[in-house]
Structure formats: C-alpha cells, structure tokens
Structure 1
Amino acid sequence: MKNRIISVDIFRGLTIVLMILVNTPGTWSSVYAPFLHAEWHGYTPTDLVFPFFLFIVGTSIAFAYQKKTPSASTYRKISIRSLKLIGLGLFLGAFTISFPFIKDFADIRFPGVLQRIGVVFFFAAIMFINFNWKTLVGICAVILIGYWLLMGYVPVEGMESTFDRAPNNLANYLDVKVFGTHNYKPDYDPEGLLSTLPSIASSLLGIFTGLILTSKRENKVFVLVGLGVVMLVLGYIWDTFFPINKALWSSSFVMVTAGWANIFLALIYYLSDIRGMKFGSIFKYAGANAITVYFLSSFVSKLFYSIKVDGETSLHGWLFQHIYVHDFMPMKLSSLLYALTVVSFYMLLAYVMYRKKIFIKV
C-alpha cells in the first residue's frame, strides 16, 4: 500500500510480541504482577494487550477497505478470512499430541483468542464498508450502552444481575448455558459469547483512528492524544457504574483500553512517521506476519507442554528447570527470562520471514 503508515505495523507487531510474552512464562506460579491479568475488576498492563490488537484490527480495516464497496466478492473475502481465523482457533483448542490428535468432544474449548479475532474482524469489516463514520459511532454507542444495560439490569433466573463472578452474572450465565463444558473455566470464559459484542466496539474505535490517520487533517498526533484522553475520562467515569473488567469486556474497559491505544499509537506515529526515526523496526517485522507468528507460538507452546520428558515432566518444564532455574536467581526472573527467550525466537523468525518476503495472509 502506498504511503503506508509505519506506526500501524509497529503497533500491530508490538501487541503480538506482548501477547507471546505474557502467554509463555517459565512457570505460572512465579510471574511478575504486570504480566498477569487482573483477578477480576480492574486491569494490568497485560489486560491491555488483546484489546490493543482488536483496536489495531479496526485501524487496519480502515486502511485495507477504504476503497471497497459492498459486493459478493468483498463479502466472500471477508468471510473466508474470518472462517480461517476461527478454524485456526478451534484447531488450537481441539488439538492433542496423542492419537487421534483431537481431544474428547466434551473437553474442547469453543471460544478463544483467534475465534474472537475472526468474529470481530467479520462484523467490523462488514459494517465499515456499509456505513459512514457517523453511523458507526452510533452503532458503537448502542453496543456499549446496550451491553451495560443488559449486564446491569437483566435478571438471571429471578436473581438480580451482578458484575461479579457469580451465577447471576448474565455473561457467565449465558456462556455456561450455551457452551457448557466447552468454556475456559467451568463458570466463565474471557472470550465468551455475550462479551464478544463490546469487543466489536473495540475494533470500531480502532476504525475511527484509522480514518483519522488516512485523512488529510493536520495535527493528527494531537487529535489522537486528545481522543485518547477523552476515552480514558469517559471510561473511568463509566467504571463507577460498570467496573473495568477484561473477563467481561465491560464497556468501561473498552473505552479505557481504546484510550490508551490511541495515546500509544500517537506516540509511535510521531516518532516513526513524522520524525522519521528508525523506531521499532523489529516489531514491524512481527506485524507483517502477526497471526502466523501468534498461531505458531501458541501451537509450539502447546506441544512443549504436551511432550513428556522421562514420562512425567513436560518439555517446557524440563527446559525451564534445567536452563533457567538457578539458586542465585529469583524464580520470577527465571520465568521472565524463559518468556523473553521465546519472544526472541519468534521475533527472529518474523525478521527472517520479512527479509525473505514470506508473508502468510490468514
């Protein structure tokens, strides 16, 4: 694409790198607090990563589909890409290392990260090519306010609704009813059914940022920072009524994470696209094959946990214990070093793929 905005590629690659970092510690029992999700309400730096990726999915849609019109061909391409993402996610959830290489049906998790990306991409792209930005703002507002009202005021089997992790939480209730044993946890899933609605809004907010970046307006950095600050303020005000919560993907969570995404993207845009600094190229390489790198990291990680050494210890655990664990080193640091090694490998892989012009489109 001509006049490509480098900061978008850097931001996309950075989010993928962070996703791998927080997903592959040496041991989950020893992880620094910023690399863990919030227990329930509130958020940590780790909770920003996935919404950042959905945000940049929206921004990328604004670039890739700005000249597309509704047609059978366009709908087909969007649908195929969405189904590929969902299919890859279902494969990760169903795969097991033992024959016949598929888990028992009751043990397969249906929701997941790639599944959510596929669904969000489908609806965000379809809406973008059919509606103008004003209509999209209205749709985004309806989604976020409607989700808040559903979660806060719809009773669950005669019980007053709650935002807590409980049977009368509407999102949790629907996930258990619809997916049963196919959830991440017995009582909820962080990529659940109802919470997918506001995650679409995360991508729509990214579309608005993409429209700003592709426009001819001046002072884009100030516009993005200003927009980010407004979203943060609205999100924190909303937090008093509908708590910031990643597992529920609450409306306040959408606003706060989109606010931070705009501010961080504005900073990267200023450094790379305006000042022309050679900033974050290594992340740009990862961003060029973002889904491929993420899928490979998830699949290989699953293999490392599944392959047993000496019949008991996983390959992951064996490597961690024999290479990274030392008496002179805090366990949390060892765990982080393992994750950084994994990240370094995939960043190198992304660099090699980029240099060899290998771009796998999913």
Structure 2
Amino acid sequence: MTKPSTDTGSHRLLSLDALRGFDMFWIAGGEEIFHLLAKATGWTGAIIMAEQLTHPEWNGFRAYDLIFPLFLFLAGVSAPYSLGSRLERGDDRNKLLRKVIQRGLTLVLLGIIYNNGLQIRPLEDMRFPSVLGRIGLAGMFAQIIYLYTNTRTQYIWFVGLLLGYWAFVMLVPVPGCGAGHMTIECNPVSYLDYMLIPGHLHRDIHDPEGLISTIPAIATGLLGIFAGNLLRADERSTTRQQKVLILFIGGILFLIIGKLWDYVFPINKNLWTSSFVMTVGGWSLILLAIFYWIIDIQGWNRYAWILAVIGMNSILIYMAQHFIDFEYTSERLFRGIVKYFSEPYQKVFYAIGYVIVEWLMLWFLYKKKVFLKV
C-alpha cells in the first residue's frame, strides 16, 4: 500500500492530514463503536468513553464537542500553506479572495444539500444552517482577515471577536426576557437566528450551527491560522522543537483561560461562547503539538498514513456517509464471521466493519488520486 507523501517541498504536513483523519474517524463511525461497546460489555472505560462521545444538553464540555471546532481549526492551519505560499509568489490578493469566497460558499451549498438532499421541499421544511456551512463561512472570513491584514491586526481581530461576542450575549436584551440570560429560550443568539434564518432551526427555537454564533467561530479559524504561521516559520528563527513547545504551552494557557472564563461566560458549544473557543482552541493546539512532534519531528509515521487517508478526503467521507449505505455493505461482508457472536457484540463488529468499508473506499480513491476539493 502506498503511503501519503510527506514531501516538505509541497508544504504538506503528514501530521496535519493524520490529525484531520483522527478527527474525522469519530464522525465517520468511531463514536458509535464505543457506544455499542459500552452497552455490550459494561466496561467502565467504555462507558466513560461513550459518555465523553455525547454532547451536553446545554452548558458544559465533553470530548465530542471538540470534533467540529478541531476541523475548523485545522482548516485554519492549512491557510498559511495554501494562501501564504501564493502570496509569497506574488499572486494577486483579489484573485485569492475570489477563490476563498468560492470555497466558502461551496461548503455552504454542500451543507444545505447534506441537510435537505436534492429534492424540492417547502421553505419551512428546509434547514439551512449546517456544519459545513459554518466551516465555510467562519473559515472564509478568517482567511479574508489573513489575506488583508498583518499579524498584529489579526490578533486584534481574534481578541475583539471574543470580547465583542461576550458583550453581545450578556448585554443585548431579548424581548420578554431581558439581558444577561443564556438559556435556550432567552439568549440573543437564538432569538436573532430565529428572526433571520429562513426555514426551520435544528432545535425549533435554536440552531447550534446558526448564523450569529458563526461570528466567534471565525476566531477558531484564526487560531488555526496562527498555528499554521508558526509551523511555517523559518526553522532558523524557531526550531521545530520550539514550535512544539509553543503550541503545547499555548494550549495549556488557553485551557486555563477558558476554565476561568467559564465562571462568568459558560462554556457552551450551542452558542459557541468565547470560553468555548478558548477551551477547544487549547485542546486543538495540544493535539496539533502532539501529532506534529510524533509524526513530523520524531518520524514515527509508519501508521500515520492510515489516518491521513481519511484526512485527505474528509469532506467526501462526511458527505458520503449521509448518502451511501455503508451499514448495508458491512452487514453483507462480515455477516459470515459476526454471526458466531452474541447480538450485542454483533452490533459492535458491524460498527467496526462500517468504518473499515468507509476506509477501504477512501484508500481506493487515494490510490486513484481522487479527492473532493472545494
């Protein structure tokens, strides 16, 4: 089997693809394996893991909350490699801007298709906000800031977005509720989304991928850009070991700030609060430091390509699992082996088979050099 290239001349980091693949693994069926394993075995470790692979009802943070923002963060990390190298070659900024906007709007369109399919529906039955839509819009605005501002101004944008969003949520009154409330019924984010977004919201009066909470998500994309700038920095000024240390220590500091901020502005993925941005940003920096150190510095990359195959076609597998019946294929392929186990364990093995089938498809596409790029 051919492994993904680690050619540094192409400015492609294997650790970045592997971390993106690790992130997508959980979306592509990894979390279901642990839920079924916990039910089948009752093991304490599996139960704890399964609980972490769920979202809190409202406030709070679990590991599952990191998957979505980590993907947006990694999209930001890629920006200095894709856009920065072109700027250094003298490419026109306005031409790059058109490409950034095109990519962002394409992701919005793919998100609408993911939610609604291609059939024609009444407007009130359609859901327009989506995971891909948020990645598209937040990533687009973060990259526009990157294209047209210097590093100092980018930092000001980052801080301003987080502080401004905090002030907005806590100070803007909601009719019938007043100001300073963060319940699902009485926060200004959900209220404005309900007033502005056509169709229906995911939770009737609130959408976790709504329009207003995309604003602080821009800061998540910017944080990824900061990390990408660091990784691209000349090693004569900042060694790779120093880069790892900066990422790791930065991650710890972000986690501390996020925890302290949580006391006055609760960590909340549904609203993408500023404390949530700091918390997921901290974990994202730490994970990037670990993957970069293990794979690109230590060279322990013998098996990293297994994850990189997923990461290099992440949008494709995200869309495909919604429209292709991988579960059916898994059952037909592995039924002869799985039938010898009891029913709870059968479900576990079928879930593992589900991921294997997905991976084999991605590996085949990788071999044929077929990638969904937007």
For 1:66, which of 74, 84, 93 is the aligned residue? 84
> Could you say which residue in structure 1 is the equivalent of 2:100?
78
For residue 326 of structure 1, report the CA deviation from its aligned partner. Answer: 10
- 2:362 corresponds to which letter in structure 1? A
Contact in 1 for aligned 2:145/2:154 (Cα 8 Å): yes
> What is the alpha-carbon distance in structure 2 between the residues aligned to residue 114 and residue 357 of structure 1?
23
Q: Tell me how far apart the structure 1 counterparts of residues 183 and 102 of structure 2 sit (CA, whole Å).
A: 35
Q: Quick one: distance in 2 between partners of 1:83 and 1:154?
A: 29
In 2, Cα distance between equivalents of 1:335 and 1:27 = 10
- After superposition, give the CA deviation of every residue in 1:39-63 in whole Å (9 maximum; x if it has no partner): 1111111111001000001001121
Q: CA deviation at 1:121?
A: 2.0
Over 3 Å counting, the alpha-carbon distance change for 1:170 and 1:282 in structure 2 is same
Post-superposition shift, 1:129?
1.2
**Match among 9, 13, 21 for residue 5 of structure 1:** 13
d(CA) in 2 for partners of 1:141, 1:22: 35
Moved more, 164-173 or 334-343: 334-343
Residue 347 of structure 1 is matched in structure 2 by: 359
Number of matched residues?
Answer: 342
Query: How many angstroms does 1:81 deviate by?
Result: 1.4
Query: Given the alignment, which residue of 254, 259, 264 partners 2:287?
Result: 264
Residue 295 of structure 1 is matched in structure 2 by: 319
Match of 2:369 in 1: 357
| Residues 190-209 of structure 1: per-residue CA shift (max 9 Å, x gap) | 10111101111111001111
Gaps of 5+ in 1: 305-314
Matched residue, 2:4 = none
Partner of 1:310: none
Note the C-alpha offset of 1:160.
Answer: 2.6
Cα separation, 2, equivalents of 1:56 and 1:182: 30
Cα–Cα, structure 1 residues 223 and 104, in superposed 2: closer, same or farther, change >3 Å?
Answer: same
What is the identity, as a one-letter code, of the residue corresponding to 2:248? V
**Cα 1:193–1:3, aligned 2, differ >3 Å: closer, same or farther?**
closer
Structure-2 change in CA distance of 1:334 and 1:185 (3 Å): farther
Q: State TM-score, norm by structure 1.
A: 0.86
C-alpha contact 2:166 2:265 (8 A) present in aligned 1: yes
Among 27, 43, 67, the residue aligned to 1:19: 27
1:276 equivalent in alignment to 2:299: yes
- 2:367 counterpart letter in structure 1: R
Residue 337 to residue 205, structure 1, CA distance change in 2 (3 Å)? farther
Identify the residue that residue 307 of structure 1 maps to in structure 2: none
User: Deviations 1:176-217 (Å, cap 9, x if unpaired)?
Assistant: 112264211111111011110111111100111111111121
| Alignment correspondent of 1:36 | 54
2:127 is paired with a residue of what secondary structure? coil
Q: Which amino acid aligns with 1:222?
A: L
Deviation per residue, 1:226-262 (Å, 9 max, x gap):
1101111111111111111111111011111110111
Write the distance in 1 (CA, Å) between the matches of 2:10 and 2:221.
23
